[in-house]
Every structure is written in structure tokens, then in C-alpha cells.
Structure 1
Amino acid sequence: MSRYKAYSEYKDSGVEWVGAIPNSWDVSPLFSLASTDVLKNDDGAENNVLSLSYGRIIRRDVEDNHGLLPESFNTYQLVAAGDIILRLTDLQNDKRSLRVGLACEKGIITSAYLKLTAKQIFLDRYLYRLLHSYDTTKVFYGMGGGLRQSMKFEEMRRLQMLCPSLDEQKQIADFLDHETAKIDALIEKQQRLIELLKEKRQAVISHAVTKGLNPNAPLKDSGVEWLGEVPAHWAIRKFGFISMVVRGGSPRPAGDPALFNGDYSPWVTVAEITKDDNIYLTETETFLTKKGSEQCRVFSKGTLLLSNSGATLGVPKILSIDANANDGVVGFEDLTLNHEFAYFYLSTLTDDLRERIKQGSGQPNLNTDIVKAITVPVPPDQEVEAIVESIKKSREQFNALVEKAKRGIELLQERRTALISAAVTGKIDVRNWQAAA
């Protein structure tokens, strides 16, 4: 923030998390600056459904929400452009979400959210930025009450707000709109870079497991349309012929404390397999009791697993531990192919498997017959080892670049948060700021 000057004189704000504010600023309770009139969509006339997502008010796709929307939107509240939306529920358990958003269009939103409308003496864009700053400094988390630690307007109506003049509010809001847009553009570039790196990484893996490392090797038709040509000296097999494909199983009845939440056997769920793109699963968050473990199959350390149900089906993982797995997971027991080669090969099929399953009806599910029928190219053992080592080396290089880009995003986000906080609390003076021509 060294490029921005401070105000010449400050005074104590009396607000613990703010500290000193410019001499000319005032402090007022929230209720004097904003109202919270709830107008319901009683007649159902408004159908632009909005939602708060990662600190932004976005449109919800009512055509593709898989039963996550109510039958009627009559209980939703009406929202106008300039309204500030706060999600002040689950404060006890969720301390990571961004809870404040600014509506840029009219629509409707769930009545579980708090809607604030700035009064004429206060600028909506500045109020949004100030509340956003309070959110990122976790001010709301110490204010809630009740089992869910949720808040209503009555519980935060006396929240102390910082009040520059209306002209100054507009200048601060204009400054932040301009500067955060530049930061957001840089973040978007880094996010796109990460996507491109992951696509390139996957293309390198796909080429290695289907074409090998020798560009001059003679090729043959695999006989499988989506696989195409493979090196002529490679064999073509199906997973059902090179392994015993078995489905995991869940103890019954589900949720029984005598079976679940124990400390005896690691419990692998689809979420455990799909939470990251690491090759190996080294630990699980939940365990079964001895009784629960005895009711279902134990997969041995080194077993290749594949998620086979839900929206995240088709993701492989290799066990580094002995573990039970639920019925959303299949295991490849007695696999005669190098497990890491098989892992990399299956990782290239994830999108294709999901697309194939999508053509069917009902709950997405890879049953064991489908998995057994998956074709896999099988190089000679020595070549398999060379391919695996080559992929690991390339993967490390791409992963390092991805991590560097992620760190860049973190730094940009930290700068964005710090800039907003500094401007709305008067730590920097932007009264004379002008956007570059």
C-alpha cells in the first residue's frame, strides 16, 4: 500500500477491529444506514433466480439443478439492483465462505439470506465494500447466537459502520471498482493458465499411455474407435481379463454408530478419491468400527480404485493403506498390469466415461460390467516402467507450474482483500485518485 498516502489526521473509531479512522469520518449503527424490508415473490411473477456464490450474486440455472430448487419460488424475496445480500447462517461450521454480495440486477433470492437496502445517505457500493471487508476479517463470526450460529438483522442492527461523506464514499467505491477489476483480470489469467497446464499435462499422459515414447514405432488399429491406433507390439486387453473388478460395500444400516465413526479401519468414499489429483490415497478422514469393517470387503494396500457413481465417477486412486471402501467405489484386485500405468490410463478416460454414462438415464453409475469391459493397451513390462517414469517426471514439472500459478492467485487475492480493507477503513486516502486515461 506504499503507493497510496494516508490521511493527515486520525482519531480512534471506538471499533475494536477498525482502530483509527480519518478525523472527518463518523461512526453510525447499521440500522441508521440501511433497511431490510422483505418483499416476497407472492404472485410468482419474478423468475430471475439469484444466488450468492463466492461473494458474487449470480443467476441460477433453473433448468439444470437436478432437484436442488423448490417447487415454487413464491417464498423467495424480491431483490433490486444495488441491494446487498448476506448469508449469515452456519457461522459456527463454515468460516471460509464469502458471505456478502452486491446485486447488479433485479430478481429473487432465498429468504434464508438477509437483504439490505442502503438509505439515501449511504452509497450501496461503499456499504457493500465495507461489509465485505468486515466479512473477510471475520467480524460476523463472533456475533451469532443459537445452535447454528445464524444471525438476523435484529442481532446486527447496531453493528458499527464507518461513514465518510457521500462524495468520499463514491470516490472510494469508484477506486475499488477500478482496482479490483484489474486484480480480477490478473486472477482470471492465472486461472486460465492453470486450466491450460492441466489440459497439456493430461494430453502428455494420454499420448504416453496410448502411443508410447517412441515416435517411430509402427502402429496398428486397436479395434476400438475411441482408442485409435496403438504401437503394433502392444497387446489389447480388457480390465475384466487382467484383474478381478469388485465393488466396495457399505455396512448396513447406514449411519449406525456401531458400524461407522469408529477407529478400526480406514473408510474410503467417493469424496476421498476425488478430493485431489494425487496418485495415492494415504489416509482417510473417517474410519469404520471393527464390526462395520467385518461387514464389507477390505482392499489391500496397493489396490487400484475407481469412483463409480455420482457426478465425480471415473476418478482413479491407488491405496497406500489397507482400507474398506463403500459401494460407490470399485477395486481392481489381482491386477497384472503396472498399477501406476493403469492409474494414468484411467485418468485419461474420466471425461469420456462420464459422457458415456450421461447418455443413459437415472443416477450416473459405472457398474462392474462396464468397468470390466474397458479396453486397455498393454505394453511390454520394460516399456511400461519407462512410460510411468516419463509421465511422473512430466507430471512433476506441470504440477510445479500449477502450484506457482495457484500461489500467484493467492497473493493477488490477499492484495485485493488488503486494498479493500485499507480503502473502506481510511488507512489510505483515495480522494484525489483518478483512473488512468
Structure 2
Amino acid sequence: MKKLRQYPSYVDSKVEWLRNIPSHWEVVKSKRIFIESSIKGFPDEELLAATQTKGVIPKSLYENTTVTATKNFETLKLVEMGDFVISLRSFQGGIEYAHYRGIISPAYTILKPQEEVTPKYYRYLLKSKRYISGLTLLVTGIREGQNIDTSKFKDSYLPLPPKEEQTNIANFLDYKTEKINRFIKKKKHLIKLLKEQKAAIINQAVTKGLNQNIAMKESGIEWLGEIPNHWKLDKLSRLLKPKGLIRGPFGSALKTSFFVKKGYKVYEQKNAIYKDLTLGDSYIDSEKFEELKRFEVKLNDFLMSCSGTIGELHQVKGDFKKGIINQAMMIMRMKKIIHPDFFIWLFRSEYIKTTILDSSKGSAMKNLVGINEFKAVKIPVLPLDEQKEIVSHLEYETEKVNKTISTIQKEITLVEEYKKALIAEAVTGKIDVRDFHVPLENKRQLKGAEATVN
């Protein structure tokens, strides 16, 4: 940013979020830049959705967005590519840019740019962090119900650079953000590869051991393949203590209506997923605890998530609150022939993940296999000393990968912040890009990237 020059002279815009602007720019009311449009009667157009992350796009590209409950498409409003939409939740995300022509719910306000406007300049401006910071002055309603007040928006002030300059700023930002986005995409792909590498390291260690030259034998299990000759395979049920597998209570046995402010803690999936027993504030009284005492959490128990995010394991250690598990959890109590840390690493392996997931056709969401199938899962049994060696190896190797991932994630965060700052500085005139020209070799690439601003 420091290498980019400023304009020769500035004036006070008298708009708090905008601050000083180039002296030849205008500051005008939004209703001079946009006029409200409410054209109806185009039922054959494609249904559009307004989202805070992708703008105004075809409903088919954003399945989770509910656009309208009406079946009378004649009442829906026509949106043209390049229009802007004040969506139902615009307070948090700003004003959305239409990337397509189509129809949208009459609950949305459609804003059509005037002749003196380059739409893609305002696409950047209205999503810039400076403009978003000023949206609190334009909202109506309270809390979650806050939306941009259209009348307040029309009377609010926006910068109006000369049209040619608007186009130049937009072209500059298209070029710069496209380069930044490609950098981020590559870094995210690298993170994906590193995570795959980490998964492979884990799976290799807990299913094949560390000695690549050791004699191997067939396990007889498709997902496991060969294992070291001196390893055994045993059913999980044989490695559990007596009554050492406890699935959480049925839903009717533990309802939210039973919860109290203080008492015995109810442990949830997030305790296993995030490896933190302090999370959650659901409690039951002593009477309900005694009724459900067979689901009590004890020291050294393994807590496992059983719904949605399946197979996340956490061992109960140190200080913890007396309590029980809920319906989406499972307790496992293991014999000492399995090292606790090795058992946790084993459950992070692809072998276990694949084995304990219900792969029944037609399942909308992954579920845990039936309890009998779960008990029958074959677990590698190997000398404790070897288990400890594998644990040490995995702690060292995965920590190296995690540090690399963390470094890359920090790079992405810094670059994303730079992109936001660059956009904010360019659209508010804090940097002068009038002499910028897109390099010839990049013009073709920009045509494909022009419709998307991340």
C-alpha cells in the first residue's frame, strides 16, 4: 500500500466513514446514484437468491437460501445483472450485487445504477470494510431483526468519482484481487494437501507400524490391508472393560426441560470434538442424575461423538465436573493393553473412520454403525512399548505439519486483510490508480474473474 501514490489534493467529505476524498470527487445522496426498481410480471426468469457471501445469484447455486414462500411468480421482482439488492439481512453483509438476470422476492429492494455510474465500482465500495463500518447509521429494527432502512440509504451519502475513474478503480481492483484470490486458492490447496499428508501419516503408523522392513501378513480386512506379522487383531468388545461401552440415554430420558442452572453437568459432543470438558452449561438435578447414573462420566473414560461429527474422541483426565453424557455421546472404558494416546490416534485414522461410519445407501447424513457392528470393529493389538513409540512419532510428525499449516493460514489471513484494506483505500480515494492499466496478458483472465469478489 505504501508504494501506491495519493491524489494531489483532498477535501473533507463530512461523511464519517468516508473521511477525506480527492478534491475533484463529488459526495452525493445515494438516490442520485441509484433508483429503486420494482418491475414484476416475468415468471419465466430464473429464481435468484441474495446471499452475503456470493451476492445475487441463481437459487440453484445456493441451495440453502430461502428466497420466497410464494408460488405466484408473477409478484416477484425483475433483477438485471449489475443491479444491487438490499437483502433481508443486509445489515451484516452490506448491499448485494446482482451477477445474473432473474426474479427475486418482493421483500427485497432493488437498486438500479444511473448512467453516471460504473456498477462494479460500487460493487466494491458497498462491500468495503469502510462502508460496512458505517451501516449502523442506516439500520432499522433491533438485534437479529436489524436491516438496512431503504429510505435512510437513499438519503445517505456516497462518493461519486468521475465515471472513467470509477471504471479505472474497478479494473485496478479486479486485477489486484484476482491475483490475491489465486494466491489464496493455491495456499488453501496446499493446506488441503498437508492435511491429506497428515492423515496418511496417521493411518500408516497405526495400521502398519514404523518399521517398513518388518514382515507383514494379510489382515483379512479390506480397509486395513496388511499388518505387521507380530500384531494381532481383536474385536473392540474384547478390549473393553466389563460394561465398558455406554451409549447416551434415549431422547425421552433426557429432555431440555429437565435442565437446571446448577447441578450435575450434561456432557455434549462439543466436549469430545473440541477436547474441552469445560464447554457447555447444561445441568440436571440430583434426582435426575441418580436416575441416569449409568451414564455417569468417570476418570479415564473415552468420550466419543456419535452424531454428525462422528468418532471424535477425548479422554477424561484431571479435574472435571461430575455428570453424565447426552444422547449424542458414547463412553468407552478400555483395558490397559491399549495405550490411551494410541487409541486416540487410532480413531483419527482413515481405517477407523471408514469402519465406524454407516455407509448405507440413501443416508442423507453419516451416522455411526449399529452398536453390535461397532463392538465388532477389529482393533490392532501390539506391544505397549511399540504403541508408545508410534504415539511419540505421530506427535512429532503431525506437529511439524500443523506448524506448516498454521504458518500458511497466517499468510492467508494477512493477505485477506491486505485485500480488504486495498479495496477500502482504492474505492474511497486514499490511493490514486488513475494511471493504472491492466497488463495485456491479464485482460483475458480478468474477464472470467470480473463477476466475483470474495
Aligned partner of 1:352 in structure 2 is 354
Aligned partner of 1:406 in structure 2 is 409
Looking at structure 2, the residues matched to 354 and 135 of structure 1 have their Cα atoms a distance apart, in angstroms, of: 49
- In structure 1, give the amino acid aligned to 2:359: I
**How many positions carry a matched residue from both structures?**
424
**Compared with structure 1, are the counterparts of its residues 58 and 400 closer, same or farther at alpha carbon in structure 2 (3 Å cutoff)?**
farther
Aligned partner of 1:270 in structure 2 is 269
State how 1:231-380 maps to structure 2 within 5 Å: 231-243=228-240, 244-249=244-249, 254-256=255-257, 259=259, 262-274=261-273, 280-290=275-285, 296=292, 297-310=295-308, 312-320=309-317, 321-322=320-321, 324-336=324-336, 337-349=338-350, 352=354, 356-361=358-363, 364-366=366-368, 367-380=370-383
Looking at structure 2, the residues matched to 100 and 55 of structure 1 have their Cα atoms a distance apart, in angstroms, of: 11
CA contact (8 A) 1:269 1:329 kept: yes
Corresponding residue to 2:139 among 139, 144, 149: 144
Offset of residue 84 of structure 1? 2.7
Aligned partner of 2:452 in structure 1 is none
- Structure 2 gap segments, 5+ residues each: 441-454
Looking at structure 1, the residues matched to 55 and 124 of structure 2 have their Cα atoms a distance apart, in angstroms, of: 12
Looking at structure 2, the residues matched to 272 and 77 of structure 1 have their Cα atoms a distance apart, in angstroms, of: 47
Corresponding residue to 2:159 among 147, 159, 162: 162
Looking at structure 1, the residues matched to 268 and 429 of structure 2 have their Cα atoms a distance apart, in angstroms, of: 49
**Compared with structure 1, are the counterparts of its residues 426 and 146 closer, same or farther at alpha carbon in structure 2 (3 Å cutoff)?**
same
CA contact (8 A) 1:55 1:99 kept: no
**Compared with structure 1, are the counterparts of its residues 270 and 29 closer, same or farther at alpha carbon in structure 2 (3 Å cutoff)?**
farther
Looking at structure 1, the residues matched to 69 and 349 of structure 2 have their Cα atoms a distance apart, in angstroms, of: 37
Instruction: Indicate whether 1:117 and 2:119 are aligned.
Output: no
Q: CA RMSD in A?
A: 3.2
CA contact (8 A) 2:59 2:65 kept: no
Tell me, what secondary structure is at the counterpart of 1:332? strand
Looking at structure 2, the residues matched to 389 and 155 of structure 1 have their Cα atoms a distance apart, in angstroms, of: 62
- Structure 1 gap segments, 5+ residues each: none
- In structure 1, give the amino acid aligned to 2:218: D
Offset of residue 434 of structure 1? 1.1
My pick for the range that moved more, 402-411 or 363-372, is 363-372
Offset of residue 33 of structure 1? 1.4
Q: TM-score w.r.t. structure 2 length?
A: 0.82
Offset of residue 308 of structure 1? 1.8
Offset of residue 125 of structure 1? 0.7
Looking at structure 1, the residues matched to 345 and 331 of structure 2 have their Cα atoms a distance apart, in angstroms, of: 15
Looking at structure 2, the residues matched to 307 and 252 of structure 1 have their Cα atoms a distance apart, in angstroms, of: 19
- Bigger CA radius of gyration: 2
CA contact (8 A) 1:88 1:152 kept: no
Calculate percent identity across the aligned residue pairs. 27
CA contact (8 A) 1:251 1:293 kept: no
- In structure 1, give the amino acid aligned to 2:303: L
State how 1:63-212 maps to structure 2 within 5 Å: 74=73, 77-87=77-87, 89=89, 98-109=93-104, 114-134=109-129, 137-147=132-142, 148-212=145-209
**Compared with structure 1, are the counterparts of its residues 13 and 53 closer, same or farther at alpha carbon in structure 2 (3 Å cutoff)?**
closer
CA contact (8 A) 2:94 2:135 kept: no
Offset of residue 343 of structure 1? 1.9
CA contact (8 A) 2:296 2:324 kept: yes
State how 1:42-61 maps to structure 2 within 5 Å: 43=43, 45-52=44-51, 54-57=53-56, 59-61=58-60
Offset of residue 69 of structure 1? 9.3
Offset of residue 388 of structure 1? 0.9
Aligned partner of 1:394 in structure 2 is 397
Q: Identify, as 1 or 2, the structure richer in helix.
A: 2
- In structure 2, give the amino acid aligned to 1:300: K
Offset of residue 18 of structure 1? 1.7
**Compared with structure 1, are the counterparts of its residues 251 and 210 closer, same or farther at alpha carbon in structure 2 (3 Å cutoff)?**
same
